[in-house]
Amino acid sequence: MLDQFKKFMLETNAFSLAIGVVIGGAVAKLVTALVADLLMPIIALILPGGAWREFSISLGVGHDPLKVGDLVGSLIDFLIIAMVVYIVIVKLFKLQPKT
């Protein structure tokens, strides 16, 4: 059974996928730190009020508020991470997506 597992890991894309997940997690931490520590303070200077990620809309008494600022911040994080991945894969490694 150990030989079959070794064959599975080496002959399929499972090993490459595992490496990609680990590297992707490390890159995500790096980009998240870059966004939180470098870009968001600059964006906070431009936008009125420094704590815009804490903005929420109340739905009434007894209901949890909608955390609109947190959602917008997560969307900005996602767009920046997607742009970094695009720049690394398409521009630096010259890999083009299949159409």
CA distance linking residue 41 with residue 72, whole number of Å: 15
7 within domain boundaries: yes
The yes-or-no verdict on residue 47 having pLDDT over 80 is no
CA distance linking residue 45 with residue 51, whole number of Å: 10
Average pLDDT, stretch 26-55?
Answer: 76
CA distance linking residue 54 with residue 67, whole number of Å: 7
Instruction: CATH number of the domain at 62, please.
Output: 1.10.1200.120
14 within domain boundaries: yes
97 within domain boundaries: no
In Å, how far are 50, 51, 67, 93 from 43, measured between CA atoms?
9, 11, 19, 30
98 within domain boundaries: no
pLDDT top residue among 94 and 87: 87
**Ordered DSSP codes for 60-93:** STTSPPB-HHHHHHHHHHHHHHHHHHHIIIIIIS
**16 close to 61: Cβ distance less than 8 angstroms:** no
Domain of 71 in residue numbering reads as 2-92
67 within domain boundaries: yes
- Residues with Cβ within 8 Å of residue 12, at least 6 apart in sequence: none
State how many domains the chain has: 1
Give per-residue pLDDT as tens, 51-88: 777 888 888 777 888 888 888 878 887 887 788 778 87
56 within domain boundaries: yes
